[in-house]
Amino acid sequence: MEREGRIIKSISGFYDVLDHESHELVRTRARGNFRKRKIKPIVGDMVTYEASGDLGYILKIEDRENSLVRPPIANIDQAIVVTSAVEPNFSSNLLDKILVNIEHNDIKPLIYLTKTDLLDDKKYADLKVVLDGYRKAGYVVFDERDSYSDDQVQDLIRHFSDKITVFTGQSGAGKSTLLNHIDPELGLATAEISQTLNRGKHTTRQVSLFNIEGGLVADTPGFSSLELIEIDQEELPTLFPEFVEYSGECQFRGCHHVNEPNCKVKEMVEDGTIMKSRYDDYLYFLNEINSYKKKY
């Protein structure tokens, strides 16, 4: 009998599927013709399968809304961008690059600031002004004085319901610590993955989705590649939500917000409505994309 579900774990050619109706976990294999067609099921895939005896077989993979290569995971709704205040120091350029990549994959980013305890009050207040700018640009931001306060962690968890969530951010930003505060099992899973990676062996990374508050959370920090190769100069302005908000008022359709006259986005940068650091990063990325073009 054909049934439907979602792959929540893959391990050496077996796929654990969470059945939509019964909420049971069923171990399956992929039909041989997937291999011939060079299709590989990945965690997060919605599938049709048949269960017979101990082992089910995946018959069909539904179209993916999006997918990442590292970690291999499909149909992601949101990414928690873990950003440290210090060690490594906060960098709006790096944060903007991560945000652009996430938006490019049709994933909703949420920003979570860690290591605020290492800042004095003045530096924290300055950083808070910057992060308020991201809030104003339309992002959900978690930047309390105590990074892992129960209230803030619970507030984050409320965003998990009915969604697939991944975590990302540069190494050392505190992803494992945050995962530990959310669910110690998640923290453990991540620590094991980092250890195997740090040993320098080519280990197969297994990804699992954990059920938390009615949503599924990946146990692995994602996005190891931050090149802008896949993004072209037409798409880039659409990946800054605050540019999108005002671009309808630019004189030219398809305005790049660089040298065009009567550009509403540039006007908003000048009057401080749009953060200058975001606009500067936009110009920097535009330049980077153009230099890739010349190379290839």
Q: Which residues are annotated as a binding site for Zn(2+)?
A: 250, 255, 257, 263
**Token pair recorded at residue 54:** 């101990």
Instruction: Point out the annotated binding site.
Output: 114-117, 169-177, 250, 255, 257, 263
Numbered residues of the known binding site for GTP: 114-117, 169-177
Pairing mode, if any, of strands 108-114 and 140-142?
parallel
E-assigned strands of the chain?
2-11, 14-19, 25-30, 46-52, 55-61, 67-68, 73-74, 78-84, 108-114, 140-142, 164-168, 209-212, 215-221
Instruction: Tell me if residue 206 falls in helix, strand or coil.
Output: coil
To 5 degrees, how large is the angle CA 128–CA 231–CA 266?
A: 50
Distances (CA, A) of 1 to 25, 68, 137, 221, 223: 16, 31, 49, 36, 37
Query: Is cis: bond before 109, omega within 30 of 0?
Result: no
Q: Cα-Cα-Cα-Cα dihedral of 8, 11, 12, 15, to 10°?
A: -30
- CA-based nearest residue to 162, from 256, 231, 285, 75: 75
Plot region of 67 (φ>0 → left; ψ -120 to 50 → alpha; else → beta): beta
Please state, in angstroms and rounded to a whole number, the distance separating the CA atoms of residues 19 and 14: 15
Closest residue by Cα to residue 79 from 164, 144, 146: 164
